[in-house]
A and B are shown apart, each in its own frame.
Chain A
Amino acid sequence: MISPPPIPPEPTLIRRVIVKPDGRRLTFYDFEPADADAPPAPAPEEAPRHVGTPLESAAG
């Protein structure tokens, strides 16, 4: 059986946010090469959210 090809180490994502003159947000995503010995980066956390009244039910 042929084993799947190896996976290159995952780069680290780096964000740099600027606000454009008209107020819109722009994010530069850059990537640092991975350290081959480093453990995989954790997934970004989703913040707990407040759940309001959904629009669907408001519309009936």
Chain B
Amino acid sequence: MSELRWNPLLGEWTITATHRQERTFLPPADYCPLCPTQPGAFETEIPTPAFDIVVFENRFPSLQATPPAPAVEGGDLYPVRPARGVCEVVVYTDRHTTTLAEESVERIRRLILVWRDRFAELGARDDVAYVYIFENKGEAIGVTLHHPHGQIYAYPFIPPRVARKLAQAERHWSATGRDLLGDALDAERRDGRRIVCENEAFVAFIPFFARYPYETLVVPTRQVAALTDFDARERWRLAEILKTLLVGYDRLFGFSLPYVMALHQRPTDGGDYPYARFHIEFLPPHRTANKLKYLAGSESGAGAFINDTIPEETAPRLRAACGSG
């Protein structure tokens, strides 16, 4: 059973997807569904003995191009809708035991080209309002497969946190004529204490308002709203800064750091979003090498984050780990 159920208390959709309870959970390495299929061996999702980068529709999707009718009847208070959309898996490489941090800048650039292609194709669909590209890395985040991969959710609505950020950006644009994230970037560069690494086209920083100790934003120095708007130089510089940041994350505590990586782009619902600026958000749950930040009472129940650190102290540590001073 799968459907969208409206939450009138928060004004947002909940996606139900009961079939996902049956999805593959931490299989042994020789039964990884994201590895290439070797002759005579277990047949994986990818029917070739080698590949570069592969994208396929998720076997256990939360959203489907042809969704079943809702299994419950909705009403004025509780509208329901089919869970229409697309869920894809992006397999970064055919090697099981690597991570994006261990890959070359060139491979990260290839991944950016694939992301751009998927954004363009999925965003052109009539039933897709927002293309969300992300990676869950590490068991602390809840991954079910260790093979390096990310995911894409093409939603039929603008997800609530994205909508809230866009509303803030629109308000700022209306009041000042400037994009909010651009102003935040300028403020961070003027201050300098929270900058982690930068190059001629991108800056990575732990924002003034960070909710997680090592939360980082990667922001372009030019106001660009989507991957399709970058030029070749910017794509390479994005790959470079991602490599630097990911290596820094792994050096920070001396192990491969779990994180959520979230790409934020303009919606694809046909609207005009002159105030949107592309950015990538990294949300690592670790606050120390052996302590995690949990979303507990204040965060889960009230939506108010408590950060046990200040970014003026965490940014220099991550900056040093990145080799940026």
B249 to chain A, nearest CB (A): 22
Which B residues, 237 to 290, have Cβ-Cβ distances below 8 Å to chain A? Answer: 237, 268-271
B52 interfacial by beta-carbon distance below 8 Å: yes
B213 to chain A, nearest CB (A): 30
Given contacts A29-B52, A43-B120, contact A24 B59 (CB under 8 A): yes
Q: In the complex, what residue of chain B is closest to A29 when comparing beta carbons?
A: B53
Size of chain B's interface in residues, with CB distance under 8 A? 50
B83 to chain A, nearest CB (A): 11
Given contacts A26-B46, A29-B52, A29-B110, contact A49 B268 (CB under 8 A): yes
Give every chain A residue within 8 A of B116 (Cβ-Cβ). 43-44
Question: How many residue pairs, one in A and one in B, have C-beta atoms under 8 Å apart?
Answer: 107
Is A44 a contact partner of B228 (Cβ separation < 8 A)? yes
Report which of A27, A44, A52, A59 forms a contact with B56, defined as CB distance below 8 A: A27
B319 interfacial by beta-carbon distance below 8 Å: no
Is B57 a contact partner of A44 (Cβ separation < 8 A)? no
Q: Is the interface of B mostly helix, strand, loop or mixed?
A: mixed
Is B231 a contact partner of A40 (Cβ separation < 8 A)? yes
Is A46 a contact partner of B124 (Cβ separation < 8 A)? yes
Report which of B52, B56, B121, B127 forms a contact with A26, defined as CB distance below 8 A: B56
A45 interfacial by beta-carbon distance below 8 Å: yes
Which A residues, 18 to 54, have Cβ-Cβ distances below 8 Å to chain B? Answer: 18, 20, 22, 24-31, 40-41, 43-47, 49-52, 54
Q: Could you tell me the distance between the alpha carbons of A10 and B113 in the complex, rounded to whole angstroms?
A: 10
Q: Could you tell me the distance between the alpha carbons of A40 and B43 in the complex, rounded to whole angstroms?
A: 38
Interface string of A1-26 (1 = CB under 8 A from B): 00010011011010100101010111
Closest 4 interchain pairs by CB? A51-B270, A26-B56, A44-B120, A47-B124
Q: Can you pick out 21 interface pairs between chain A and chain B where the beta carbons lie within 8 Å of each other?
A: A7-B233, A7-B236, A8-B106, A13-B114, A20-B45, A22-B59, A24-B56, A25-B57, A26-B54, A28-B48, A29-B53, A29-B54, A41-B232, A46-B124, A46-B228, A47-B124, A49-B125, A54-B129, A55-B81, A55-B129, A59-B79
**A residues lining the B interface (CB < 8 Å):** 4, 7-8, 10-11, 13, 15, 18, 20, 22, 24-31, 40-41, 43-47, 49-52, 54-56, 58-60
Extra pairs beyond A45-B120, A49-B268 (5, CB < 8 Å): A8-B236, A26-B54, A31-B52, A55-B4, A58-B81
